[in-house]
Amino acid sequence: MFNLSDTICAICTPKGTGAISAIRISGSDSWNIAKQIFSTSNPQFSILDSQFVFNHMHAMHGYIKDNDKIIDEVIILPFKSPKSFTTEDGIEIYCHGGLQVTSQILSLCLKNGARQAKQGEFTFRAFVNGRIDLTEAEAINEIISADNEKAVSTASEILSGSLKKKILQFREKLFDLITRIESSIEFPMDVADTSKKEMALSLNEIKFEINKLIDSSKEGQIIRDGIKVSIIGPPNAGKSSLLNQLLESERAIVSEEPGTTRDTIEEKMIIDGWPVVLVDTAGIREKRDISDSEKHGIERSKSTIQKSDVVLAVFDITNDKTEEFSLLLRDKSKIMVGNKIDLVNEKSINKNGFDVLISAKNGTNIDLLKRSLIDRIKSFTNSNSSENFTCHINQRQKELLIQCNYAIENSLSLTDKAISEDLISDELKNAVSKLDEISGRVVSDAVIQNIFAKFCIGK
């Protein structure tokens, strides 16, 4: 996948014009390449004298040059192996943030012996060289792509080693059981048999802890991807007006003409720190005299409801009936919203069947609706639990933990039967192998390629 013997380089700041850009070099030839293109501004040396010595983490001011031509004034930060992100010799060049000057410096690095880094190659080298495990590598990419504070926080926890530590603890406990079982088989005269009761107790404890991680994955998914909230209801109920109120912007077209929204409109927002994907849908009505495009919009609306985590069912309290939506909303987590309270006398409002009464036009009770939505979001998470889960695992990790637990369950089943203990040991080894896939001790090239292909170039 990657040639680890090459010295690689890449621009590691976003494309565009800014105050500063950074170019990263990593590999055994990093310092030599830097010396060929960098001249220090230290008065002890002439501008074109490269006979100086870099010192680890000792920033130097100077100039990038192409032969005798000065390209830019820069700061160089050297890293000496193994005290770098990749554990290799490395150089970071901080230059002015122009597109042209950054590209010129990158070209000079390539001309003097470096190779353009591929996506995720710096992080891959950190993983291969033992600087981080696979859970921490995934956390790095999640931090980069995070679009909300909770996503940054949960990824930072994993990057700090919290999940790595848990996986290692599970592995050590399982490996200890395997060692005791196989020792008693190989040396029956010297090693006492492992108590089946003691073994079952230990396995159930591990299984319980793994299940807590699996349960926390739903919250992790919400934090990473957002909870999907669809806004549905009859035509002209005020769905688009509500979307605009929640987003605090004129995102959707608002009209008194029925069927204005013919397709779904999707927007992401943060409510009380939680990422929410709002989907405005076409009004649903069962009339024959509607256009084909409106029929298509209605079908998409019904499909969106089934894919949503929460449904905001919006109705005009002056004339809309909610009964015809009861079958469509059955078994869905929903908030029944009565809209257009600005059009009726407060005393005549019928609150029956509605969770929140609002005016999407005037913004009345929108904060109350947001609080109801937050409570509904928290019902999908462990936020109200007395125990704080910080290791919000991703889908790959979840699937492997489920497989690990399945092997543990098989082991527990075998302990209840008069079956050879080496079969129990085999199941426990299978459980360990799933943990090793999570951490990256044992992992296929296809999985590695899939994970690091999601990284940007330069990281």
Same-fold call for 8-131 versus 137-216+391-440: no
* CA quadruple 438, 439, 445, 450: dihedral sign: positive
Residue 139: pLDDT band by 50, 70, 90 thresholds?
very high
Rounded-to-integer distance, Cα 354 and Cα 364, Å:
15
What gap in Å lies between CA 338 and CA 316, rounded to an integer? 6
Both tokens of 387, joined, read: 């125990």
Side-chain half-sphere exposure of 432, counting CA atoms within 13 A: 16
Highest mean pLDDT (candidates 134-148, 253-267, 346-360, 388-402): 134-148
Question: Of the segments 51-55, 264-268, 350-354, 430-434, which one has the largest average pLDDT value?
Answer: 430-434
Band (pLDDT 50/70/90 cuts) for residue 384 is very low
Mean pLDDT score across all residues of the chain: 84
AA letter at 90: G
Strand 8-11 versus strand 115-116 pairing type: parallel
Cβ-based burial of 395 (10 A; exposed 0-12, middle 13-18, buried ≥19): exposed
C-alpha 141/C-alpha 132 separation (Å) is 13
- What are the residue boundaries of the structural domains of the chain, listed by start? 8-131, 137-216+391-440, 224-378
What distance in Å separates the CA atoms of residue 416 and residue 414, rounded to the nearest whole number? 5
Per the CB < 8 A criterion, the answer to whether 37 and 64 are in contact is yes
CATH homologous superfamily for the domain 224-378? P-loop containing nucleotide triphosphate hydrolases (3.40.50.300)
Question: Would you call 213 helix, strand, or coil by DSSP?
Answer: helix
Return the exposure string of 137-149: e unless at least 16 CB atoms fall within 10 Å of the residue's CB, then b: bbbbbbbeebebe
Angle among Cα 274, 276, 281 to the nearest 5 degrees reads: 165
pTM: 0.81
Structural tokens at position 103: 């590209």
Please give the single-letter amino acid code of residue 384. N
Residue position matching structure tokens 């002439």: 46
Q: In this structure, which topology does domain 137-216+391-440 adopt according to CATH?
A: Four Helix Bundle (Hemerythrin (Met), subunit A) (1.20.120)
Strands (E), 98-200: 115-116
pLDDT score recorded for residue 44: 58
CATH class label, 8-131? alpha beta
Q: What is the pLDDT of residue 191?
A: 52
pLDDT class for 4, splitting at 50, 70, 90? Answer: confident
Predicted pLDDT of residue 288: 55
